[in-house]
Structure 1
Amino acid sequence: MSTNPIEWILGYSFSKEQYPVSFFSAIVPGAVQLDIARAEKYPDYKYADNCKKFRWMEDVYYTYKTVFPRPILDSGRRFWFISKGIDYQFEIQINGETIHEQEGMFSYVEIDLTDYLRVNNTLEILIYPAPKLTGCPDDRTQASHVVKPAVSYGWDWHPRLVPLGIWDETFFEIRNSSYIKDVQIDYELSDSFDQAEITLNVDANVAETSRFEWKLLSADNRVTLSISGSMSELVTERCSLSNPELWWPHDHGTPYLYISEFCLFDDESNLLDQRIQRIGFRQVDLVMNQGAWSEPKEFPKTRSVSPSQIKINGREIFAKGTNWVNPEIFPGIITKEKYNHLLDLVVETNFNIVRSWGGGIINKEPFFDLCDEKGIMVWQEFPLACNEYPDDKHYLAVLKQEATSIIKRLRKHASLVLWCGGNELFNSWSGMTEQSLPLRLLDSLCWQYDRNTPFIMTSPLFGMAHGNYVFRWNGKDIFETINNSKNTAYTEFGIPGASSVDVLKSIITEEELFPPTEGSAWETHHAFNAWDADKNTWLCYNLLIEYMGEITSLAELVEYSQIIQSVGYKAIFEEARRQKPYCSVAMNWCYNEPWPTAANNSLISYPAIPKMALYAVRDSCRPFCVSARISKFIWFEDKDFFAEIWMLNDTFDTFDKHQVIVKLQSQEEEIEILQWTSSDINSNTNLPGPTVRFKLPRWNTIFFKLIVEVVNYPEFSSEYTLLYKKKKTVDKSLTKAMNVTV
């Protein structure tokens, strides 16, 4: 089997019947908008409000075209066209004859062109305009009838830019007449995890005389299993592997991967085709959280919350992670290298799970390969988000096609630990329920094709939480909000923070940089009027002024904003961990972003620039650390400061007692206020300690720090930045908003 790249040209027209009057070079994979921008010298869509100039491009027809001679084919060889992703509705023609029509961007296209070939050939792909449901507002609801990511129709951190075109690997391939379509390796682990019963399922187009050989190799290329025989006798092959090495999330063990090598031979032992893939043996379950079965305590007796405790290989894992969104507006330009860098940062941040959010794409294959390698669990949602998707036959047919392709592609990945129907589908703005046919369909398809991976209808389910997304809401800061919450899983929560000065200078004109104002590029890049629930998002400039007073420079604004974001995220992650075992999941909204925002809930600015908050979260998610439970952000001179001291342990190791020293630190001094010697800390268990109290001195500072040191173990120590106010400088509007008395 050999592959050949294709050189494409692209043209566009304003109706299906009109043929493009001119063509220009196209880059594949990519997007039609990017090709037009290069050819017609459009300005960078990421700068200022240039993205608005691209809007017309979603409403026209596009023709990809390539011309090629008939290839020389040896006997028994066939010429195929392969594409792993064409977005969204399209027709494929060869030499003027339509040979394929498809709606859906996640189903691979594989067409045998051999019998259509002439001496010289023209292959064309006609891309339809972006689908839009008529009679809807100019927003994501326009995508409520299609299996296309809703995010590109506009979100509170994503501009209105709807990609179209060839977005994944696309090439010609010469195959033997006998070839392998798919190799699926199913297995069941014994209760003691010391035996794997393996079932080999092969889908192939073969001659009766074809033979096969399958090997399972260890990570260091030792043969652990080997089977061979006639393909005519291979329906499903079963075998056993004793004492398999198990795949674990990176913070609980080694994400061990075996290598599966399936080879197809003719009757003379010539290699016809092969499939090499990696397999990780693990058992994943989604079970009720501890204490959840006792709810509700009164009649009527029914289960009040849904299971959200992930078990890997019998071990209850606290899932610490983040919500992953497209790392580019145009998915065609996402590379393995980009995935790799962002996923390395996931591991470095002590995250063990990413939620691949239902508003975005189903990621390309390298994303899942890298998650397998790095030991990152993946919560995978289907492309449904915040809309009421219909029960009509056409939509269900496309959804079935797309979901089947998605499941069959991803089920082989050890990192895949949960299927989810989509994002926020049981909310008033979506209006779906367990009886909605799209969700019943997805449940049935996951059962049919990947029944050993758990499935839930949507996030959140009852007991789980989405929100809130700002530091202060209804007069309560994030400490008070999270400390008074009780949920089995915090699957979305956000604290906004500004991007760095360098990022802001790269997207906002100099005359608009400071102070930030509505109606400028600040608003285009989501600093103002981004989220309907709070028009001040995501910059929250008014809140920063209330807390800090007058802000005199862009650098000062960024510093204060990123401090607030760091403080807020640290509070939520650590409190969620303290609520274990009733709580089992903490995932912030969101990890990354697809273009440079001025302010966002993201931990990483586009393209991959960590904010201060990423490092704060990294510390909060260490598998073992000391933690302080703090009741509020703002503290006043001459008033008592107090905080609870905890030891957090998500590992399955037991730790000996530790000596802890608690200090307060200002610009002027450092004061030791408590010493505590803990008892032993049991595996996967948190240990509450004492409450520290201390009357705050009179300082000349804006911030002060609470420092909690673990003697001789600085890697377990923690510190917290808090706001300090003098009584005489306290703004009355601030005290009213904070519901505090000075």
Structure 2
Amino acid sequence: ACGLFYCCSMACAQSNDNSEVLTLHSGWEFSQVGTELWRTAEVPGTVHQDLIQHNLLPNPFYGTNEQKIQWVENEDWEYRTAFTVTAEQLKRDDARLTFEGLDTYADVYLNGALLLKADNMFVGYTIPVKEYLRPGENLLHIYFHSPIRQTLPQYASNGFNYPADNDHHEKHLSVFSRKAPYSYGWDWGIRMVTSGVWRPVTLRFYDAASISDYHVKQLSLTDRAAQLSNELEINNILSRPIQAEIKIQASLEGKQASAVSRTVTLQPGVNRIEIPTEILSPVRWMPNGWGTPALYDFSAQIVTEGNIVAEQSHRIGLRTVCLVNEKDADGESFYFEVNGVPMFAKGANYIPQDALLPNVTAERYRTLFRDIKEANMNVVRVWGGGVYEDDRFYDLADENGILVWQDFMFACTPYPSDPTFLKRVEQEACYNIRRLRNHPSLAMWCGNNEILEALKYWGYQKKYTPEIYQGMLAGYDKLFRELLPAKVKELDADRFYVHSSPYLANWGRPESWGIGDSHNWGVWYGQKPFESLDTDLPRFMSEFGFQSFPEMKTIAAFASPEDYQIESEVMNAHQKSSIGNHLIRTYMERDYIVPEKFEDFVYVGLVLQGQGIRHGLEAHRRNRPYCMGTLYWQLNDSWPVVSWSGIDYYGNWKALHYQAKRAFAPLHINPICQNDTLCVYLLSDCLDAMEKLTLEMKLTNFAGKKAGKTVVLPSLSLPANTSQCVYRTPLNALFSPAKHPLADDLRRCFMQLTLKDKSGRTVAETVHFFEKTKELLLPETNITCKMKQTDGRCELTLLSPALAKDLFIEVPLQGARFSDNFFDLLPGERKTVVITSPQIKKGEALPVRLRHIRQTYN
């Protein structure tokens, strides 16, 4: 069971109770132990941020500065502040000090008393402190032990080095600490092993009683009614029983949906109370693309002697979500069913947005979810090598209709399983399950990332003795088959738990594709062509990806022009995959003419990544219902780096994110050539069937002239939630008799496909090329560009007499948003693109550069 000491510190809405909260974020100082030099500090924050602020560390993201910051992890650090408490406040019945996040080994002292020895970054601590407080000034002091030196004795007595190869240190110490694994380095990550008060600190004064946990548990849901249980954990602070009225209210968009109250006797200490509620004609929470993610506002109040002494609020979505994981004729299914309807999962894997977590602002969270929603995603996976995210992350997932696949924080290596370690994990699981379980976006729990696959297929049997290897297997079962599922069953029984991702599959074993979720690294590490994604088909693709450099303005943020070479020291410092640059070039040679200039190589690499991953996304959607989900690796970056991301550290969309948006459109046309036959699929994630659709397929050459037959398919029907092949024809039947042989025709033209509804409105369109880009006879062309500019907005109108393939619009503003980018500008097409950024000013010229593939040939 989970003790109150690790109780949830829920982010509460504004309340009307008479508790009083002090936010302890000002007046902090820090010092390197042994120096007695105290400097101002930011809380929440990390020691790295404070050192940077005082110019005691260089910008860790620039050049090769990563090497210059490694000393910080080996030192102990102290933080201190003073705060004032009044005599009136001390008359309150209780006072509790809450740390929502201490990173990681921290001794907390208040007025000379040791309150806490923290040892887990992933839990919050709430401590009764009234007896330690005094009127006037109070001194809070935190001693952070080096996470490296703290765990060296464990390493020394362990007898072997764990295979945590992403830990960029000869001694793999990361496994011993419950601390964000990625901070020790990763194959896309800087090593920055942080310490500090990384989440808020508050002091709350209470009278009579407090709510330590409030869970709105959905018992049943029909169109007629939702049956709910309000499960409260209430702490009676007093030494005697007290009479209290508990009021539960629920509203939707300001209109009351339910209200109930109950009078109870609260015994001293912890009281667990359940109060049923019914909501008639419930409005369901729906995922992005299927409807509105309706959220009810629930509140629980405790009233004693006419005073509201405690209140807690949550936003609750009424919906059913289950993971259907059942044996069938093809193996074993793996898909989400939402409100009774199978849902094709479209999304990506998320890593922490910053190597320095307190840098992530509310605006960055909002922008991220805007990016997710605009790309037509409905699922995001919180990967197990980072952190359990901030409350704002899950709030935004709720509000935007994005389902969250939530890993526990274990990735890519076996972990210890001794009693002390298991106790820490139990506390962590309890804290985070309780913290997150009210969110309607939370779809499932997953024990770890790739650890079962590692144990089975990564060669540990040969690397370690039989005794050590068997100990790893036994430890896996203790952690992921026993402890974590037991905590999920105890605290969040209605949510699905799977012990590892991938569920079974190893990308080198085709027989595993039919079972559960898969990680396909045959593309990239296995050097398989992108076309292999058409046949290496899983039931659910939870990871696959391909790297690219970020665009030049991001490279310019960490490198100088003299570093603009693929294998320069600085570029290699920002390329953490040892084979990364080689693989980018290898794949580029297959599909593109490899440019000589560095800037052109970066641009073509972005196009390569976007087109390659789009090929996979379309293959997965095309093969539903056998395959029912695709989450590419990875959504975002934690620093400016060469990586698999679709959005770089500064919020710039790479070509990948634009291509994902296109491939994930609710209604999508997917043409593909199979054995010299053109097949055209219509893909729908819409809940309603569509009738009387018209599909037009027009062949045009690169100069804009008709190149063959125009095919029109009228009166098409498209069932809801399906993939359907609506057209097949041999390639040679498409072209009119011409001067050129078929192969030459294929190099000179494209097909424009347009789908219209019964009213004539275009509902989907795409462009298809019949050859790899390097085989196309792309024309030189001059693009005209007209600009209209106001504060925050620039409108471009583009026109080209001939095809401009994969047109990239560049502006030197980090995070600028484009209504479209990395698109084919078709001959004679007048295309409007809107660029938005707070940095755009009316009357100030915005430098715009247009780049397309043919220009890289010169």
TM range (shorter): 0.7 to 0.9
CA distance in structure 2 between the aligned counterparts of 1:630 and 1:346, rounded to whole angstroms: 30
Partner residue in 1 for 2:142: 125
1:194 paired to 2:194: no
Native 8 Å contact 1:548 1:702 kept in 2: no
1:606 paired to 2:644: no
CA 281–422 in structure 1, closer or farther in 2 if over 3 Å, else same: same
1:478 paired to 2:530: yes
CA 102–373 in structure 1, closer or farther in 2 if over 3 Å, else same: same
SS for the counterpart of 2:81 is strand
Residues 267-313 of structure 1: CA deviation (Å, up to 9, x unaligned)? 1x122121121111111111136xx5124xxxxxxxx53x4211111
| Residue 531 of structure 1: how far off its partner (Å) | 2.9
Partner amino acid, structure 2, of 1:455: Y
Partner residue in 2 for 1:637: none
**Which sits farther off after the overlay, 701-710 or 152-161?**
701-710
SS for the counterpart of 1:147 is coil
Residues 27-52 of structure 1: CA deviation (Å, up to 9, x unaligned)? 11111111012224422111111122
CA distance in structure 1 between the aligned counterparts of 2:495 and 2:776, rounded to whole angstroms: 57
1:716 paired to 2:788: no
Partner residue in 1 for 2:307: 270
1:180 paired to 2:211: yes
Aligned partner (choices 521, 532, 550) of residue 468 of structure 1: 521
Native 8 Å contact 1:472 1:478 kept in 2: no
Partner residue in 2 for 1:350: 376
Native 8 Å contact 2:369 2:397 kept in 1: yes
CA 193–66 in structure 1, closer or farther in 2 if over 3 Å, else same: same
Partner residue in 1 for 2:559: 508
Aligned partner (choices 635, 643, 663) of residue 678 of structure 2: 643
Partner residue in 2 for 1:736: none
CA distance in structure 2 between the aligned counterparts of 1:214 and 1:312, rounded to whole angstroms: 31
| Residue 553 of structure 1: how far off its partner (Å) | 2.7
CA 728–380 in structure 1, closer or farther in 2 if over 3 Å, else same: closer
1:241 paired to 2:293: no
CA distance in structure 1 between the aligned counterparts of 2:242 and 2:773, rounded to whole angstroms: 81
Partner residue in 1 for 2:616: 572
SS for the counterpart of 2:609 is helix
CA distance in structure 2 between the aligned counterparts of 1:468 and 1:568, rounded to whole angstroms: 13
Aligned partner (choices 479, 484, 491) of residue 438 of structure 1: 479
CA 155–161 in structure 1, closer or farther in 2 if over 3 Å, else same: same
CA 143–683 in structure 1, closer or farther in 2 if over 3 Å, else same: same
CA 703–44 in structure 1, closer or farther in 2 if over 3 Å, else same: farther
| Residue 377 of structure 1: how far off its partner (Å) | 0.3
Aligned partner (choices 62, 76, 80) of residue 96 of structure 2: 80
1:328 paired to 2:333: no
Native 8 Å contact 1:703 1:724 kept in 2: no
Aligned partner (choices 408, 418, 426) of residue 400 of structure 1: 426
Partner residue in 2 for 1:32: 47
CA distance in structure 2 between the aligned counterparts of 1:260 and 1:324, rounded to whole angstroms: 29
Partner residue in 2 for 1:496: 547
SS for the counterpart of 2:731 is strand
Length-normalised TM-score, structure 2: 0.76
SS for the counterpart of 2:87 is coil
CA distance in structure 2 between the aligned counterparts of 1:689 and 1:414, rounded to whole angstroms: 37
CA 573–225 in structure 1, closer or farther in 2 if over 3 Å, else same: same
**Which sits farther off after the overlay, 23-32 or 442-451?**
23-32
CA distance in structure 2 between the aligned counterparts of 1:727 and 1:622, rounded to whole angstroms: 27
| Residue 608 of structure 1: how far off its partner (Å) | 1.0
Q: What does 1:99-498 correspond to in 2, within 5 Å?
A: 99-118=115-134, 119-131=136-148, 132=151, 134=155, 136=161, 139-140=166-167, 141-190=172-221, 192-206=222-236, 208-232=241-265, 235-267=273-305, 269-288=306-325, 292-295=327-330, 304-305=331-332, 307-428=333-454, 429=458, 432=473, 436-439=477-480, 440-462=482-504, 463=515, 464-468=517-521, 470=523, 473-474=526-527, 476-479=528-531, 481-498=532-549
**Aligned Cα root-mean-square deviation (Å):** 2.7
Matched-pair identity in %: 23
CA distance in structure 1 between the aligned counterparts of 2:577 and 2:722, rounded to whole angstroms: 38
CA 724–565 in structure 1, closer or farther in 2 if over 3 Å, else same: closer
CA distance in structure 2 between the aligned counterparts of 1:270 and 1:703, rounded to whole angstroms: 79
CA 570–703 in structure 1, closer or farther in 2 if over 3 Å, else same: farther
Partner residue in 1 for 2:807: none
CA distance in structure 1 between the aligned counterparts of 2:352 and 2:577, rounded to whole angstroms: 19
Native 8 Å contact 1:603 1:611 kept in 2: yes
The gaps in structure 2 that reach 5 residues or longer are 1-18, 267-271, 461-471, 505-514, 733-740, 779-858
Native 8 Å contact 2:685 2:722 kept in 1: yes
CA 595–630 in structure 1, closer or farther in 2 if over 3 Å, else same: farther
CA distance in structure 1 between the aligned counterparts of 2:594 and 2:242, rounded to whole angstroms: 82
SS for the counterpart of 1:437 is helix
| Residue 550 of structure 1: how far off its partner (Å) | 5.0
SS for the counterpart of 2:260 is strand
Native 8 Å contact 1:215 1:223 kept in 2: no
CA distance in structure 1 between the aligned counterparts of 2:655 and 2:773, rounded to whole angstroms: 20
Aligned partner (choices 640, 643, 649) of residue 596 of structure 1: 640
Residues 659-694 of structure 1: CA deviation (Å, up to 9, x unaligned)? 323345553345344515263111112111223443
Flag the structure with more relative contact order, 1 or 2, with Cα contacts below 8 A and sequence separation at least 6.
Answer: 1
Native 8 Å contact 1:167 1:333 kept in 2: no
CA 692–477 in structure 1, closer or farther in 2 if over 3 Å, else same: farther
Partner residue in 2 for 1:739: none
Native 8 Å contact 2:614 2:659 kept in 1: yes
1:89 paired to 2:89: no
Partner amino acid, structure 1, of 2:767: E
CA distance in structure 1 between the aligned counterparts of 2:542 and 2:474, rounded to whole angstroms: 19
Native 8 Å contact 2:591 2:774 kept in 1: no
The gaps in structure 1 that reach 5 residues or longer are 296-303, 632-639, 730-742
SS for the counterpart of 1:323 is strand
| Residue 447 of structure 1: how far off its partner (Å) | 0.4
Native 8 Å contact 2:447 2:500 kept in 1: yes
Native 8 Å contact 2:747 2:776 kept in 1: no
CA distance in structure 1 between the aligned counterparts of 2:430 and 2:708, rounded to whole angstroms: 61
Residues 115-162 of structure 1: CA deviation (Å, up to 9, x unaligned)? 112353221111121255635377434322332221111111111112
**Which sits farther off after the overlay, 18-27 or 157-166?**
18-27
Native 8 Å contact 1:215 1:262 kept in 2: yes
| Residue 589 of structure 1: how far off its partner (Å) | 0.3
Length-normalised TM-score, structure 1: 0.88
Native 8 Å contact 1:29 1:333 kept in 2: no
Partner residue in 2 for 1:732: none
CA distance in structure 1 between the aligned counterparts of 2:70 and 2:137, rounded to whole angstroms: 37
Partner residue in 2 for 1:735: none
CA 21–249 in structure 1, closer or farther in 2 if over 3 Å, else same: same
Native 8 Å contact 2:382 2:406 kept in 1: yes
Partner amino acid, structure 1, of 2:752: I
**Which sits farther off after the overlay, 129-138 or 81-90?**
129-138
CA distance in structure 2 between the aligned counterparts of 1:726 and 1:414, rounded to whole angstroms: 49
CA 485–548 in structure 1, closer or farther in 2 if over 3 Å, else same: closer
CA distance in structure 2 between the aligned counterparts of 1:706 and 1:628, rounded to whole angstroms: 9
Partner residue in 2 for 1:617: 660
Partner residue in 1 for 2:28: 9
| Residue 383 of structure 1: how far off its partner (Å) | 0.4
CA 204–665 in structure 1, closer or farther in 2 if over 3 Å, else same: same
CA distance in structure 1 between the aligned counterparts of 2:610 and 2:580, rounded to whole angstroms: 22
| Residue 478 of structure 1: how far off its partner (Å) | 0.3
| Residue 177 of structure 1: how far off its partner (Å) | 4.0
